[in-house]
């Protein structure tokens, strides 16, 4: 089986197993078990580290159900094939060639050299960051909010794993809205989101060459610069647009407005937590948040969206055309034409999918275009933010969101490659000709 198909099958199998576990009566609070759509939607949302929900995570699921959700989040963040490789290393102390190829396809490695060290580094980085954030949150929940130590520890661990894996699941009925003005809750969560959104290749390279920027790869440079720009512009956009909105930032004093606006902009790009009521945002703000969700974070990590690198490549292609340059040069490097094609193909495919999904929901519901577009982009970019209509969508609409979460986590190109019957290797090229553009 082609590695892309194996990754596809692995995620599908994990989603089915997770849904079956959530259907068990022990997973649901109260009598009976969860319905198939409730269990499957929640399992896919957790596995695809999205965070969209149609039931309240705190009140609907038991502790067992919440543990299943947490395990799916961790599995989805690491990657099914990566987790399988960890098990293989632990059991047989080695990786087969097939396992290496499958894992390389999932983590988007350019080769399989020393993949064992790569897999172990990914797991180590995840556990360290999650452990530090969990400790900080546990201390805050236990001291400021007087939670019992066991409950504070559970809250700390759950939200640390959910934030680093950019999942957006929270054990509070209002998500993080109760902590809108608490920097000791919001900032550790934001730090975990940002680190998870950088991608494992960037984190590992910074760990080795933090003080030697000249050794950074082009991918690392683009992701770091793109992250800084999006953090600054995203925070400024949300703060300015919602500054006087009495239903969101307008009810807070100015330091809390800055904190809440910054935290919400960080969560918008890929994490899916909300410390403000998204349903009360102005339509113009929602449109800007659509763009932030669509771009997402860094590749080969826990973030969603088309990825910073894809957006940056298109930006530099446009800049080169405007300047009349023959080649596209970025940070002293020339971009391969294959990268041009991949970025353009991904953008067009993602745009077409989002348009098709939004039109489908418009046909079957009475909700407005801005609400449905927001939901579809949130699902496709595996963000998890919602204007509050996800649970009210018909089953067919929720199935569309499930499909989009699945496609968004795997990546449209990986998803298409997994379904392709065979790879094409033509033995000839056709004559070149240029049509008129514009």
What residue has token string 């989002």?
A: 354
| pLDDT value of residue 341 | 86
- Non-local CB neighbours of 376 within 8 Å, separated by 6+ positions: 354, 357, 358, 361, 400, 401, 404
This prediction's pTM: 0.89
DSSP one-letter code for 330: E
Q: Which two tokens stand for residue 288?
A: 């800007």
| pLDDT value of residue 293 | 95
Contact 307/299 with Cβ under 8 angstroms?
A: yes
Contact 54/401 with Cβ under 8 angstroms?
A: no
Domain boundaries defined on the chain: 3-419
Determine the Cα–Cα distance for residues 102 and 386; give it in Å rounded to an integer: 33
| pLDDT value of residue 70 | 96
Determine the Cα–Cα distance for residues 359 and 412; give it in Å rounded to an integer: 19
Q: Identify the three-state secondary structure at position 31.
A: coil
N-to-C CA span, the chain: 42
| pLDDT value of residue 92 | 39
Q: Identify the three-state secondary structure at position 191.
A: helix
Q: Identify the three-state secondary structure at position 28.
A: strand
Determine the Cα–Cα distance for residues 208 and 23; give it in Å rounded to an integer: 44
User: Which run of H or of E encompasses 333?
Assistant: strand 333-334
Contact 40/395 with Cβ under 8 angstroms?
A: no
Q: Identify the three-state secondary structure at position 407.
A: helix
Cβ atoms within 10 A of the Cβ of 419, count?
10
pLDDT in tens, the chain (438 residues): 566 677 778 888 899 999 999 999 999 998 889 999 999 999 999 999 899 999 999 999 999 999 999 999 988 887 754 644 444 444 434 545 455 544 454 445 544 455 666 677 778 888 999 999 999 999 999 999 999 999 999 999 999 999 999 999 999 999 999 999 999 999 999 999 999 888 878 888 888 888 888 888 898 999 999 999 999 999 999 999 999 999 999 999 999 999 999 999 999 988 889 999 999 999 999 999 999 999 999 887 778 899 999 999 999 999 999 998 888 999 888 988 888 888 888 899 999 999 999 999 999 999 999 999 999 999 999 999 999 999 999 999 999 999 999 888 887 656 655 555 455 677 888 888 878 877
Determine the Cα–Cα distance for residues 177 and 78; give it in Å rounded to an integer: 28
> DSSP H helical segments within 55-96, as ranges?
57-60, 63-78, 80-92
Contact 28/55 with Cβ under 8 angstroms?
A: no
Determine the Cα–Cα distance for residues 295 and 289; give it in Å rounded to an integer: 10
Determine the Cα–Cα distance for residues 44 and 405; give it in Å rounded to an integer: 7
| pLDDT value of residue 253 | 94
Backbone angles phi, psi at 232, to 5 degrees: -70, -50
Q: Using alpha carbons, select from 322, 339, 397, 407 the residue that is nearest to residue 365.
A: 397
> DSSP H helical segments within 282-435, as ranges?
283-295, 308-323, 337-364, 369-380, 395-410, 412-419
What residue has token string 């987790």?
A: 83
Determine the Cα–Cα distance for residues 334 and 336; give it in Å rounded to an integer: 6
Q: Which two tokens stand for residue 427?
A: 């033995």
């Amino acid at each position: 089986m082609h590695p892309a198909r194996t990754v596809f099958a692995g995620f599908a199998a994990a989603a089915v197993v997770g849904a079956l576990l959530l259907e068990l009566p022990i997973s649901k609070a109260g009598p009976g078990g969860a319905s198939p759509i409730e269990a499957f939607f929640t399992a896919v949302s957790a596995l695809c580290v999205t965070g969209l929900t149609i039931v309240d995570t705190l009140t609907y699921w038991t502790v067992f159900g919440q543990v299943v959700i947490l395990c799916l989040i961790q599995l989805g963040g690491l990657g099914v094939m990566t987790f399988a490789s960890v098990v293989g290393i632990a059991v047989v102390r080695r990786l087969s060639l097939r396992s290496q190829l499958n894992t390389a396809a999932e983590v988007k490695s350019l080769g399989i050299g020393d993949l064992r060290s790569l897999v172990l580094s990914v797991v180590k980085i995840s556990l360290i960051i999650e452990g530090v954030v969990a400790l900080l949150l546990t201390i805050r929940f236990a001291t400021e909010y007087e939670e019992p130590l066991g409950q504070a520890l559970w809250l700390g661990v759950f939200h640390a794993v959910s934030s680093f894996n950019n999942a957006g699941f929270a054990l509070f009925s209002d998500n993080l809205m109760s902590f809108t003005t608490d920097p000791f809750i919001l900032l550790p969560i934001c730090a975990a989101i940002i680190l998870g959104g950088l991608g494992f290749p960037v984190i590992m390279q910074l760990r080795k060459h933090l003080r030697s920027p000249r050794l950074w790869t082009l991918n690392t440079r683009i992701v770091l610069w793109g992250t800084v720009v999006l953090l600054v512009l995203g925070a400024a956009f949300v703060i300015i647009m919602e500054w006087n909105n009495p239903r969101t930032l307008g009810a807070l004093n100015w330091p809390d407005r800055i904190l809440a606006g910054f935290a919400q902009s960080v969560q918008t790009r890929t994490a899916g937590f909300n410390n403000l009521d998204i349903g009360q945002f102005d339509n113009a703000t929602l449109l800007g948040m659509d763009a932030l969700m669509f771009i997402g974070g860094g590749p080969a990590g826990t973030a969603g969206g088309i990825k910073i690198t894809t957006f940056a490549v298109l930006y530099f292609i446009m800049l080169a055309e405007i300047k009349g340059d023959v080649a596209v040069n970025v940070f002293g490097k020339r971009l391969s034409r294959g990268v041009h094609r991949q970025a353009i193909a991904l953008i067009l495919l993602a745009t077409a999918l989002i348009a098709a999904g939004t039109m489908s929901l418009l046909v079957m519901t009475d909700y407005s275009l801005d609400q449905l577009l927001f939901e579809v982009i949130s699902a496709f970019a595996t963000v998890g933010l919602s204007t509050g209509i996800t649970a009210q969508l018909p089953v067919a609409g929720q199935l569309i969101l499930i499909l989009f979460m699945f496609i968004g986590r795997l990546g449209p190109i990986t998803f298409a490659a997994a379904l392709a019957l065979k790879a094409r290797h033509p033995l000839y090229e056709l004559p070149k000709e240029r049509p008129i553009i514009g």
